Structure 1
Amino acid sequence: MGTAPDAGQLMAILLKLLNAKKTIEVGVFTGYSLLLTALTIPHDGKIIAMDPDRKAYEVGLPSIKKAGVEHKIDYIESQALPVLDKLLENPSNDGNFDFAYVDADKGNYWNYHERLIKLIKIGGLIIYDNTLWGGTVALPEELVPGPKRKIRQEALAFNKAISSDSRVEISLVSIGDGFTICRRTH
């Protein structure tokens, strides 16, 4: 589990094109995408990273330390929604982030989106991972293995909602497990 290398390369290029300095990561797991972001943003850049599983984060922490980028990361051991809500309590955070990456519980993607769209600046990006869910979003329900059906339904609902959100331009990229790139337009 983790961000696919080809998806990570695309994310790094996008971060560079944005000249991203302030980012948010929802769902860290062992920190591959977090490390990639930290290596890509400038020395004084910052990442607010949230995940309830500190043990998984600590698996990748030695690599983050070895790379010399730990100072860029504000890791918060928590579910994401309370952290995002806390950020939104401070009006100076509105539109103050360049980039967000979401690879967390798929059932909350729309809840994350509603918060992130307020935190990301106009012209900034939000990327959602796993929006193809192993290709199951293109299959008839009866062909989807039982264990994948619940998250498939969540991915379908999110994909439908995001495709009609007038606040973003989107591109669904079929690398990794599906990367939905959203550019905030207003």
Structure 2
Amino acid sequence: MPSFDAVLEPDLVEVRNAVDQSAKEVGTRFDFKGTSARVELGDRGMEVTLYGDSDFQIGQVKDIVLAKLAKRGVDVRFVDAGAKVEKIGGDKVKQLLRIKSGIDSEHAKKIQSLVKHSKLKVQASIQGDSVRVAGAKRDDLQAAIALLRQEVADLPLAFTNFRE
């Protein structure tokens, strides 16, 4: 039975390159000279930490990082900027940006119910951090891909493992 997997996988090499470019730009920009503005990548490559002297400066550094990610072809919807800016002593602040990888259970259930209620002759099943969609015809699977691209706009889904 033909099937495909809907996954959420960022290109971690490009994320690392974008963070390195951002760190280089922050280090050389004139308006950041003499400040604590910097960008660091976490050990697994799934967290980016922004440092600065104020909320405004954190916003500028975040804009640089997002621009570099977009320029390197990494969708900015992978970035979860939900963490608040926190004080780390004196007048210094930091913010943690998480890189989303894998579909969480809430979104997986949403995708599964979307496919179920779409009246297409396909079935969706949650497989860990991905959703497998299977159907009898290739055309139905392509219609399911189009439906998911249209309806799930908040996640940059990729469709892999297409099997006949």
TM-score, normalized by the shorter chain, greater than 0.5: no
Alignment TM-score, normalising by the size of structure 1: 0.27
Structure index of larger Rg: 2
Structure with bigger helix share is 1
**Structure with bigger RCO (C-alpha 8 Å, 6+ apart):** 2
Which protein is richer in strand relative to its size?
Answer: 2
